[in-house]
Structure 1
Amino acid sequence: MTGAVSYFHENGVATITIDDGKVNVMTTDLLDELCRSITQARDDRSMILLRSGREKIFSAGFDVKPLTSRDAEASRALLQAGINAILALLEYPYPVVSLCAGHAYPMGAFLLLASDARIGVHGEYRVGMNEVAIGIAVPDFALHLAGYRVAPTWLHRVVALGRMLNPQEAVEAGFLDMLVPPERVETALDQTIGHLAGLNMAAHASTKNRMRANVAEAIRTAGRDRLLPTG
């Protein structure tokens, strides 16, 4: 347990806050905690609001130390924890809202891609997948997720060229749905959550799960058969 993920439930909304005291590096332990919070929210039959407790950072992404070392076991454990978190959000039966007010590197960007509604805040930060820029081949599961959610005109630039995006580009590319000024964050959250609360949740879950069935199965298969890129 790292204590980097907190859970608060009120009025049908489960707020999950990521705050490791630094830059929200996605370690295996943190991702496991995140999955436990998602399970708790599911038990509470609640919409999720996923946010960062750090200023100017959503997440610095995966802990790269295992990925850039030759520790295959640690790398596999980390990537599998990432897959578990992605699938937990992709297959969550209630709406998932993510609030991004700062940098979102992989795995943080993957959490945005797996969410239903993504609210970005105007600011000087970057969102995207920089793996190839730091010497890491993009895993198959991430290719499937990006192919599902990133706009086709941006896909190659984001994935194969490692281009990190400013907030407006992140909206165009499909990592975010809207941008709001800092002073309107709570209003935007209230409006978004209010709209989503009016959905028929059974219809929402059925529709979303059928839309995402193929990508979820592809991510599972990648995790089982080719978790670490071989070429």
Structure 2
Amino acid sequence: MAEFVTLDLLEGDAERGVAVLRIARPPMNLFTVQVVREVAAAAVAVAADSAIAAVVVYGDERVFSAGDDLAELAAMSQGQAEAMAADVQDALGCLGRIPQPTVAAISGYALGSGLELALGADRRIIGDNVKLGFPQINSGLIPLAGIRRLALLVGPGAAKDLVYTGRFVEHEEAAALGLVDEVVPPDDVYAAALRWARRFVGGPARALAAAKAVFEAGPHGLDRARTEWADLFGTEDRRIGTESYLADGPGSASFVGR
């Protein structure tokens, strides 16, 4: 049983629903190695559960995550860091490997490794009181997992500015940079994320997973797209989707997720 992460499936349609992956280490949801591993384990469980159509990643109404637990990092030796770096880096990228659509619902702060985790979500929704940033440089460190994704999102120049300075970004700049996708009032963050996630209940799960796999493939996306596209011709959803489109037009399919 996880100590700091919960995973709950909300009621959706008869077969599939939205899961909420919640980080629960109050008061600031600081990330330790244990927290990161628990998030990654929850992501594995999501990926294996066909009842989950989409995922909301959330902290609470006050904070998503204020970043790394510096007390743990201060006590860590170089040997310990070397031994766990690959494991922690892989865990922080876990949202990108979930085949279902994912949305990070961000309140208060998303800093350091907390923001690195959120960068792996397919969508980021923040309140207009949120502060985002990568302050690791001020502790003599760098982001372990987020630099590549950050550069892809905002461009290398803006990414270098954020990482080198460690400065905080507020909602207007975050939206202008493309660091986040939607800004809402603070009290609406969770509800807005649920609304987006519920769009995929009853959707073509296999096609959504295929599209996500192509996005994640990066420079190998063209090759991956050929494979994923061809594989979809062996799915029930492809048959249902094409036949219903021909008979009744777009938006008429009742997908089964197979």
2:151 to 137, 147, 151: 147
| 1:180 matches 2:184 | yes
What SS does the aligned partner of 2:146 have?
helix
1:164 to 159, 165, 168: 168
Structure 1 or 2, whichever has the larger Rg, is 2
Asked if the contact 2:18–2:201 (Cα under 8 Å) also holds between the matched residues in 1, the reply is: no
What SS does the aligned partner of 1:58 have?
coil
Per-residue deviation, residues 113-134 of structure 1 (Å, max 9, x unmatched): 10011111121x4101112223
1:16 to 7, 17, 21: 21
| 1:171 counterpart letter in structure 2 | A
The equivalent of 1:111 in structure 2 is: 117
The alpha-carbon deviation at position 98 of structure 1 amounts to 0.8
| 2:46 counterpart letter in structure 1 | A
Aligned residues: 213
| 1:49 matches 2:53 | no
Which consecutive unaligned segments of at least 5 residues does structure 1 have?
217-231
| 2:161 counterpart letter in structure 1 | R
The equivalent of 1:219 in structure 2 is: none
Which consecutive unaligned segments of at least 5 residues does structure 2 have?
221-258
Identity percentage of aligned residues: 24
List aligned pairs for 1:1-231, cutoff 5 A: 3-10=3-10, 11=12, 12-45=17-50, 46=52, 47-53=54-60, 55-69=61-75, 71-76=77-82, 79-123=85-129, 125-139=130-144, 141-152=145-156, 154-185=158-189, 187-197=191-201, 199-214=203-218
What SS does the aligned partner of 1:197 have?
coil
Q: State TM-score, norm by structure 1.
A: 0.80
Inter-partner Cα distance in structure 1 for 2:177 and 2:150: 10
Inter-partner Cα distance in structure 2 for 1:215 and 1:162: 28
The alpha-carbon deviation at position 151 of structure 1 amounts to 4.0
Asked if the contact 2:119–2:146 (Cα under 8 Å) also holds between the matched residues in 1, the reply is: no
What SS does the aligned partner of 2:199 have?
helix
Inter-partner Cα distance in structure 1 for 2:82 and 2:29: 20
Structure-2 change in CA distance of 1:202 and 1:33 (3 Å): same
Asked if the contact 1:150–1:175 (Cα under 8 Å) also holds between the matched residues in 2, the reply is: yes
The alpha-carbon deviation at position 191 of structure 1 amounts to 2.8
What SS does the aligned partner of 2:98 have?
coil
Inter-partner Cα distance in structure 2 for 1:150 and 1:60: 21
Q: State TM-score, norm by structure 2.
A: 0.73
The alpha-carbon deviation at position 65 of structure 1 amounts to 3.6
> RMSD value over aligned CA atoms?
2.5
Inter-partner Cα distance in structure 1 for 2:39 and 2:46: 11
Per-residue deviation, residues 15-49 of structure 1 (Å, max 9, x unmatched): 11111122111111111111111122122232111
What SS does the aligned partner of 1:93 have?
coil
The alpha-carbon deviation at position 74 of structure 1 amounts to 3.3
Asked if the contact 1:23–1:60 (Cα under 8 Å) also holds between the matched residues in 2, the reply is: yes
Bigger shift: residues 109-118 or 207-216? 207-216
The alpha-carbon deviation at position 164 of structure 1 amounts to 1.3
What SS does the aligned partner of 1:160 have?
helix
| 2:31 counterpart letter in structure 1 | M
Per-residue deviation, residues 184-213 of structure 1 (Å, max 9, x unmatched): 335423431233336422222222212222
Structure-2 change in CA distance of 1:81 and 1:102 (3 Å): farther
Inter-partner Cα distance in structure 1 for 2:214 and 2:131: 31
